[in-house]
Chains A and B, each alone.
Chain A
Amino acid sequence: MMKTQGDKSFSARRVGAVAAVAFAIVATMLPSAFAAGEVLGKACKLAGVSTGTLSTSLTCKADSKGKLTWQKVRLGQSFGTPIAEITPPKGSIEFWHYRPEDKAYFTKIISDYEAKYPGTKIVQVVKTTTDYNATARVQILANNEAALFASARGSIFNDFVKSGLTADLTNERFVKRNLVAKGISAGVIGGKVLGVPYHYLFNNPVYNTELWAKEKWTIPTNLTGWVSWCKDAKAKGYVPLAWPGATRGQAAQISNSALMNSAASYDALSDNLADLNSGKIDLTSTWFKGVADIYVKLRNAGCFPENPTGVTEAAAYNLFATGKSPILPIGTFAMGSIKALNPALTGKMQLMSMVLTDGKVVAEGIMNNTFNLSVNAKSTPGDQRIAKSFLSYLATGAVGAYYANSTTQHVNVLDVDYSANVDLLNTSSFQAKNTMLAPRFLLLNTSVSDLTQDALIQIVGGKSPDDVLPDFSKQIKQKLAG
């Protein structure tokens, strides 16, 4: 584990604590399943919980008799053990990304790296997600200094690839040996690794375990259950879902849950989304009307906040952090910011399956490998080498662990220990669930993706799908024609 300087944020301080202290804190805060620590072969209670991605890490898994025990699970691609970072040449590059909330931690990682390799400099260029998605590709195209850049899986990453900006990383040793094998696929196009998905996210609603215990709620298992739960929660004075309708990107997270069981299978769903993306079908198709209908049912049950289309991220996070809302329908990556707002929620958050169908359940939850880090193919060879070096540095266990624990996000890197961050440990149980790779990112055309989400937001805002769906279908058609 890396040492932290006199750091400010709560989670960073936590990382800085000696492992033993951390473990003690973890032990007192965790649900009983973890209190005793983990021993290979011993019984465990919550399937999927994983202590990390070390070769010695344990995962709670059903054995051949169906009994949950702590087991070792191989996560790497090859038999080789993770390697240290590539030594960089001297020089300076820019690292572009869209996680302003991670800036302080990247600054720390970069300063350690620069101290290790004097003469090599990494300059962070950070934008908000929306600005990044809107402007970064044009600006990186015009800027060879930007040798390392991030992009979200789906339309954004795809656009970067189409612009010829992503160098082939397939044969890099660290790609083969340092990363969780099954997590890489989100960065693979045409058989080549063109981006390294650094995050291992779960875009499922986060809930406040304390509130749920207090109200003696159980997680609904179908759409009818959700409708009645929302009514109950609303009657008790809560805002059932702290949904930020004013911010498209985050409002869209719940659409993953709505989409995941909207078709008979993942393949059928992918086909539908591909057809929507190409204009073969539009939002008035039977399938999408079904998705819209989920939103209508949730809306009519009072699941969303008052004036939902005006709820900013700040308002939604605060609703959840202050206990006015039991669910923040965003994802694991929101937990860090919540803890900054209310440290008392540490260890009291868990992920939930949000099954929004009364029919066949295809998946129980969502996962996403994203924050694809790519090396700029148009940068000079020397700059590319620095970019690869820094990327391989990020892919070492110690750095990955520091980043994961500081930002409360699982990473796609091997040799990471999550036991210092109780919320990472708790939510890792989702790895065992029947999860689906976040489907909303299958809409690869940015305009189609944005307009689809905007249509759903309008429906939550109170409009009828009969008006919204034809209107937005027309807008999509016009964008696709242009």
Chain B
Amino acid sequence: MIFKTTRIFALLTFAALILVPSLIVVLGSFKTDAEVYNKPLSLPEHWNFDNYRRLLSESDLDISFRNSVFVTVASVVLTLMLASMASFAIARMVTISGKVLATLFAFGLAIPAQINLVPVYYIFRDLGLTNSFLGLIIINITTTLPISIFILTAFFREISKDMYEASEVDGASPLRIYRSIALPLSRPAMGATAIFLFVINWNDLLWPLLLIQESGKKTLPLAMLAYRGEYFVSFSMLFTAVMVASLPMVIMYLLMQRSFIAGLTAGAVKG
């Protein structure tokens, strides 16, 4: 009984904590600023799309959106490729090199690449990787490799030994085993990792803030930060920007919520 009541209470409270702010944003994007401030929760007096019209005509959110999609997808795909190969090596090669790899990336997992803020800036500057998508993708991969390898190694370890051994007897090369056995079997784990990485890369602000200045190359979080400056006095415009920037992701999330959540629940992050 107590369990039931507390359960319902806790679940509803947290649901409200997510729903109410979302509602304020959605409604706020249709309101005037005076309404946003004085009646944040009420319906707009007049539903109008003025804020949206103004934002879409003044902004280049579409460019930032494209940039974000490109950088994120490229980062996720490349990270998965590199990480799955490395994880396979770690899981299968119970040799010194496998151990060294594992230790090194475990180190990277505990200490995020953010600590390298200072040197990375100067290294990237000297390599001409500032204001470049390539630079951003490289640093995204470096930042997320350890966590990806961590997730995938656990998975590759679980694929039954017999399978590997059987194919090794057949004389297949490690690369072949990786391609024909490990990869197909690891699809759920890869899917889960992909979503994990997607969320991290999509939302990252620190690296773009450090490396990207050109407005044509801004990612979405960076563009949002600029909007905060541009519409610093107007929360109705900021809410509209939040709506426009989040909508594609929300739609994708609702369409693919099964893979988002099921993906994570199926393979995810096993210790």
Q: Are A314 and B233 in contact (CB under 8 A)?
A: yes
| Residue with the highest number of chain A CB atoms closer than 10 Å, among B58, B225, B232 | B232
Q: Are B58 and A126 in contact (CB under 8 A)?
A: no
In the assembled complex, the Cα of A100 lies from the Cα of B223 at a distance in Å of: 11
Q: A125-B215, A139-B213 given as contacts; is B34 within 8 A of A100 (CB)? A: no
- A293 interface hit (Cβ, 8 Å): no
Q: Could you tell me the distance in whole angstroms from the C-beta of B214 to the nearest C-beta in chain A?
A: 6
In the assembled complex, the Cα of A125 lies from the Cα of B230 at a distance in Å of: 13
- B216 interface hit (Cβ, 8 Å): yes
In the assembled complex, the Cα of A480 lies from the Cα of B36 at a distance in Å of: 44
Q: A94-B214, A124-B215 given as contacts; is B230 within 8 A of A103 (CB)? A: yes
- A464 interface hit (Cβ, 8 Å): no
> Which residues of B from 121 to 140 have beta carbons under 8 Å from A?
121-122, 125, 130-131
The number of A-B residue pairs with CB atoms under 8 Å apart is 76
- A317 interface hit (Cβ, 8 Å): yes
Q: A124-B215, A142-B125 given as contacts; is B233 within 8 A of A318 (CB)? A: yes
In the assembled complex, the Cα of A103 lies from the Cα of B228 at a distance in Å of: 13
- Chain B residue numbers with a CB within 8 Å of A129 are 229
Q: Could you tell me the distance in whole angstroms from the C-beta of B1 to the nearest C-beta in chain A?
A: 42
| Residue with the highest number of chain B CB atoms closer than 10 Å, among A94, A96, A128, A135 | A128
- Chain B residue numbers with a CB within 8 Å of A127 are 226, 229
- Per-residue interface assignment for chain A, residues 138 to 174, with 1 indicating a CB less than 8 Å from any chain B CB and 0 otherwise: 1100110010000000000000000000000000000
> Which residues of B from 193 to 240 have beta carbons under 8 Å from A?
209, 213-216, 225-230, 232-235
Number of interface residues of A (CB under 8 A): 33
In the assembled complex, the Cα of A313 lies from the Cα of B38 at a distance in Å of: 16
Q: Are A143 and B213 in contact (CB under 8 A)?
A: yes
Q: Could you tell me the distance in whole angstroms from the C-beta of A105 to the nearest C-beta in chain B?
A: 11
- Chain A residue numbers with a CB within 8 Å of B7 are none
In the assembled complex, the Cα of A138 lies from the Cα of B229 at a distance in Å of: 20
- B179 interface hit (Cβ, 8 Å): no
Q: A100-B230, A127-B229, A341-B234 given as contacts; is B33 within 8 A of A318 (CB)? A: yes
Q: Are A317 and B233 in contact (CB under 8 A)?
A: yes
Q: Are A128 and B214 in contact (CB under 8 A)?
A: no
> Which residues of B from 169 to 183 have beta carbons under 8 Å from A?
none
Q: Are A125 and B214 in contact (CB under 8 A)?
A: yes
Q: Are B229 and A322 in contact (CB under 8 A)?
A: no
Residues of A within 8 A of B (CB): 8, 94, 96, 100-101, 103-104, 123-129, 131, 135, 138-139, 142-143, 146, 313-315, 317-318, 321-322, 337-338, 340-342
Q: Show 7 A/B contacts (Cβ-Cβ < 8 Å), sorted by A.
A: A101-B229, A101-B230, A123-B216, A128-B226, A142-B122, A318-B34, A337-B233
